[in-house]
Amino acid sequence: MKKMLSIFLVGILLIAGCQTIPKDALTLSPESLAERQMQTRKYETKDEGKILAACAGLLQDMGFNIDESEPNLGLITASKQRSAVNAGQIVAAVIVAALGGGAMPVDKEQKMRASVVTRPIGDQYIAVRVTFQRIVWNTQGQVTKSESISDPAVYQEFFDKLSKAIFLEGQEI
Amino acid sequence: MKTRFSLLFFALVVFLAGCATTQQRLLDSESSQVQLRSIQTRAFDTTDKEKTLRTVMATLQDLGFVLDKADATLGTVSATKLKGYALRMTVTIRPRGTTQLLVRANAQYNVQPVTDPEPYQQFFAALEKAMFLTAHQAD
């Protein structure tokens, strides 16, 4: 009986003792340098405004809506909402349902956010750093994923397009 | 019998402790204002507000945050980190005397305020490195 009681008490404490911030939430991770490099390119220009405008145009190309901008600090933030439906989950849900497991929630929609920060390096270069993150909701309205996007291919493509956008805007096509 | 009573009582206390009024939640009035400020604030020996703000933004990015907004006039930056949790931070900067800037950060972890000193120490340690300046305790 005593044992049961103590288990019960510990259980209650665990539930009530609310989650606290993870120890590493505000420390620089060993990967942070590599991530910075992946997310940053520098362009040889002095004109920070021009780069920012090109980034705004590029974000629009990618279907983002601009949420906030602060040219004095070199910042643009943008977001978009998209479907998060993926074939694998649908197949799994259908199989579960067919086996009599009832309706399984699947990912439904996601909000994707981007922020672009520009920073002058010396007198010759402007560094551009972009970061993406997303939140995914399932068919029951629960958050199933909230994460940074760290796929190098995403950043590679972004900067390929940015180079083109800067060229285009520079050329005023 | 006694055990059952104490058990019920304990459960009740724990559940009630989790309850706060809207006023308490809105104003976070149970935490000490002075203590919170000292945990969340550091002074830096610089007067360059723009450079400090830009360094704050770079540091937040290094820590895995995505910027939400920034305002150079007011001297504020807000950012969110998503990593299975949502950590939202706002950093404000204001002059202190003629030689220093005060940097204040506050954070919320999911639906809770962050009131432990340690996360802020970690944040200012990262900021110090990026600023190439020492963060002084401000009080």
Chains A and B form CB pairs within 8 A to the count of 130
DSSP letter (8 states) at residue A20: -
Nearest CB to A77 within list B69, B72, B123: B69
> What residues in A contact B127, CB-CB < 8 Å?
none
**Mean pLDDT, rounded, for B90-117:** 94
B68/A73 CB distance under 8 A: no
Q: For an interface test with B, give the residue of A15, A23, A38, A73 to mutate (most B CBs within 10 A).
A: A73
Element (H, E) at A75: strand A75-83
* A58/chain B closest Cα distance in angstroms: 18
Q: How far is A54 from chain B (nearest CA, A)?
A: 18
Residue A56 has pLDDT above 60, yes or no: yes
Strand partners, B88: B80, B108
Of the pLDDT bands very low, low, confident and very high (cuts 50, 70, 90), residue A173 is: very low
Q: Which fold has domain B33-137?
A: Alpha-D-Glucose-1,6-Bisphosphate; Chain A, domain 4 (3.30.530)
pTM of structure: 0.84
What distance in Å separates residue B102's CA from the closest CA in chain A?
18
Task: Inspect the interface and report whether the beta carbons of A133 and B116 lie closer than 8 Å.
Answer: no
pLDDT per residue over B32-89, tens digit each? 888 899 999 999 999 999 999 999 999 999 999 999 999 999 999 999 999 999 999 9
Q: Where are the domains of chain B?
A: 33-137
User: What is the predicted ipTM?
Assistant: 0.82
Q: What is the pLDDT of residues A110-138, one digit of tens each?
A: 999 999 999 999 888 999 999 999 999 99
Task: Classify B45 as helix, strand or coil.
Answer: coil
- pLDDT above 60 for A14: no
Question: CA B42 → CA A1, B9, B29, B102, B127, distances in Å?
Answer: 52, 44, 23, 6, 10
- Whole-number pLDDT of residue A127: 93
Q: State mean pLDDT over B112-126.
A: 94
Q: Give the one of A18, A36, A147 whose C-beta lies nearest to B62's C-beta.
A: A36
* Domains of chain A, CATH where assigned: 42-171 (3.30.310.80)
Whole-angstrom distance, CA of residue A94 vs CA of residue A91: 5
Most confident listed range (A3-7, A99-103, B68-72): B68-72
Q: Over pLDDT 70: what percentage of chain A? A: 86
Quote the percentage of chain B above a pLDDT of 70.
89
Q: Which residues of A touch B64 (CB under 8 A)?
A: 29, 32, 35, 148
Query: Within an 8 Å CB–CB cutoff, is residue A122 touching chain B?
Result: no
Q: What are the chain B neighbours of A23 within 8 Å (beta carbons)?
A: 118
pLDDT value of residue A9: 56
In this prediction, residue A137 carries a pLDDT of: 95
